[in-house]
């Protein structure tokens, strides 16, 4: 009976935490407290670090699914708060938002931070410059209180953009980017937000986890300091990091019908919430497209989709399948595959990027405490 009550409470909390697109997420602890049930729960279930039901006592930030291309949530900066939508990006490490100093076209239709309106803002003379695969920004660095869901991070360093060249950020549905990778790749040596969360003891565990919905549905979230047991019913496979830069891992091979078609003698990959597709070196892309019957641009006949196989990613001696339902993108009665080639190696060499097409199949745990990535197949 107690277990049924607990499961019901967990389900109730999930309605608040991860499935309704609220502007601010609530932890299960908060939900129980609001319903006058927290004390009873703690008495019936004394704290046990190994008990997975306690893993959900984290802070959940709902994310909007924008056409299965980008996932973004709302944060606040300053006193009083100024709100911004940001990509929670495991492929970079800096936080930045547009500022009133920015004159680029991209800043004209987004929220802009005004440091004069925040009593807790501290300016610096340091500059910031970041280049992404699809855009860039330059600006200055400052310090202020940054609030993510119910977590307030004091003296967080962040970028105030002065230029955002090109059109990518103009058409982006979000304002800025909150990087969740390691300090070693942070531009200008800025301390990432999650590192300050850990340093200021704002999370119960040194990890965060991500669920990305599909088909533009609601329910996506990033959960700080916890693992949601409702998304790990198939078990968790833990993968050690091969570098503490991006969330980088070693991949054994990629197969179709049990035959290796790419990454035949192992390769490096990063798990990146900020990339929409699965990206790979051009040679691997050509080999995979040929094996799947697609042309050099990744386009394929919609009539052949039903006969496509799972693409199997072999990682740390486990198989992680991505079915055609996940990697085929249908638009205007034409079909393409959710893969892309990269002509230019990254700073870490020729990497595969396991972006949203891959992540949507798994609940992903990014564990800074053990330097591991956890993958749990979604039901």
Its pTM stands at 0.86
What is the residue extent of each domain of the chain? Answer: 62-224, 232-377
Q: What was the pLDDT predicted at 294?
A: 96
User: Residue 66 to residues 63, 76, 108, 216, 354: CA-CA distances in angstroms?
Assistant: 9, 20, 21, 6, 18
User: Residue 56 to residues 10, 221, 224, 231, 243: CA-CA distances in angstroms?
Assistant: 9, 13, 9, 11, 28
The counts of H helices and E strands in the chain are 8, 25
Residues 6+ apart with CB under 8 A from 138: 127, 128, 129, 130, 161, 162, 163
Q: Is the dihedral of CA 237, 240, 244, 246 positive or negative?
A: negative
| Tens-digit pLDDT profile for residues 171-226 | 999 999 999 999 999 999 999 999 999 999 999 999 999 999 999 999 999 999 99
Which CATH number is 62-224's, of 2.40.10.410, 3.40.50.150, 2.40.70.10, 2.40.50.140?
A: 2.40.70.10
Q: What was the pLDDT predicted at 328?
A: 97
User: Residue 9 to residues 22, 30, 232, 281: CA-CA distances in angstroms?
Assistant: 19, 12, 17, 46
Say whether pLDDT at 44 is over 80.
no
Average pLDDT, the chain: 88
Q: What was the pLDDT predicted at 49?
A: 41
| Tens-digit pLDDT profile for residues 287-306 | 999 999 999 999 999 999 99
Band of residue 270 on the pLDDT scale cut at 50, 70, 90: very high
Burial 53-87 (b: 16+ CB within 10 A, else e): bbbbbbbbbbbbbbebebbbbbbbbbeeebebbbb
Annotation says 272 is catalytic: yes
- Domain at 232-377, CATH class: mainly beta
Q: What was the pLDDT predicted at 333?
A: 86
Say whether pLDDT at 346 is over 90.
no
Neighbours of 32 (CB within 10 A): 21
Residue in 55, 68, 175, 272 annotated catalytic: 272
Band of residue 5 on the pLDDT scale cut at 50, 70, 90: very low
Domains 62-224 and 232-377 share a fold: yes
Band of residue 21 on the pLDDT scale cut at 50, 70, 90: very low
Lowest model confidence (mean pLDDT) among 18-22, 42-46, 319-323: 18-22
* pLDDT over 70, % of the chain: 83
More confident residue, 284 or 18: 284
Q: What was the pLDDT predicted at 12?
A: 39
Q: What was the pLDDT predicted at 47?
A: 41
User: Residue 203 to residues 75, 224, 225, 239, 317: CA-CA distances in angstroms?
Assistant: 17, 7, 5, 22, 31
- Bridge partners of residue 376, in order along the sequence: 363
Decide if 137 contacts 129 (C-beta within 8 A): yes
Residue in 55, 68, 89, 252 annotated catalytic: 89
The C-alpha atoms of residue 73 and residue 196 are separated, in whole angstroms, by: 19
| Terminal-residue alpha carbon distance, the chain | 25
Say whether pLDDT at 30 is over 70.
no
Q: What was the pLDDT predicted at 81?
A: 98
Annotation says 89 is catalytic: yes
Band of residue 32 on the pLDDT scale cut at 50, 70, 90: low
- Nearest-CA neighbor of 378 among 365, 357, 358, 363? 363
Lowest model confidence (mean pLDDT) among 26-35, 68-77, 115-124, 308-317: 26-35
């Amino acid at each position: 009976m107690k277990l049924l009550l607990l499961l019901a409470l967990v389900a109730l909390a999930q309605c608040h935490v991860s499935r309704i697109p609220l502007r601010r997420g609530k932890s299960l602890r908060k939900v129980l407290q609001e319903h006058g049930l927290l004390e009873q729960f703690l008495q019936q279930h004394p704290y046990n670090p190994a008990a997975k039901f306690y893993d959900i006592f984290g802070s959940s930030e709902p994310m909007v699914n924008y056409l299965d291309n980008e996932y973004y949530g709302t944060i606040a900066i300053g006193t009083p708060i100024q709100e911004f939508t940001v990509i929670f990006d495991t492929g970079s490490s800096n936080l930045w938002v547009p500022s009133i100093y920015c004159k680029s076209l991209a800043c004209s239709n987004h929220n802009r931070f005004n440091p004069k309106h925040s009593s807790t803002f501290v300016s610096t003379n340091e500059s910031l410059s970041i280049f992404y695969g699809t855009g860039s920004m330059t600006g200055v660095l400052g310090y202020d209180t940054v609030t993510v869901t119910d977590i307030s991070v004091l003296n967080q360093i962040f970028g105030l953009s002065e230029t955002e060249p090109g059109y990518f950020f103009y058409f982006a549905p979000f304002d800025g980017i909150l990087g969740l990778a390691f300090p070693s790749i942070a531009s200008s040596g800025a301390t990432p937000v999650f590192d300050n969360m850990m340093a200021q003891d704002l999370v119960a565990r040194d990890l965060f986890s991500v669920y990305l919905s599909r088909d533009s549905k609601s329910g996506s979230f990033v959960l700080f300091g916890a693992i949601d047991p409702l998304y790990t019913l198939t078990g968790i496979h833990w993968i050690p990091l091969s570098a503490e830069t991006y969330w980088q891992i070693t991949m054994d091979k990629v197969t179709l019908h049990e035959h290796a078609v790419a990454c035949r003698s192992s390769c490096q990959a990063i798990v990146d919430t900020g990339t929409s597709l699965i990206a790979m070196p051009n040679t691997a892309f050509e080999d995979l497209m040929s094996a799947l019957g697609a042309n050099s641009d990744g386009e394929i006949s919609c009539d052949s989709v039903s006969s496509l196989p799972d693409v199997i990613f072999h990682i740390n001696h486990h198989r992680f399948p991505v079915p055609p339902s996940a990697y085929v993108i249908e638009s205007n009665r034409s079909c393409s595959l959710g893969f892309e080639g990269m002509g230019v190696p990254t700073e870490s060499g020729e990497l595969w990027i396991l972006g949203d097409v891959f992540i949507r199949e798994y609940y992903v745990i990014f564990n800074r405490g053990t330097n591991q990535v956890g993958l749990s197949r979604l039901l």
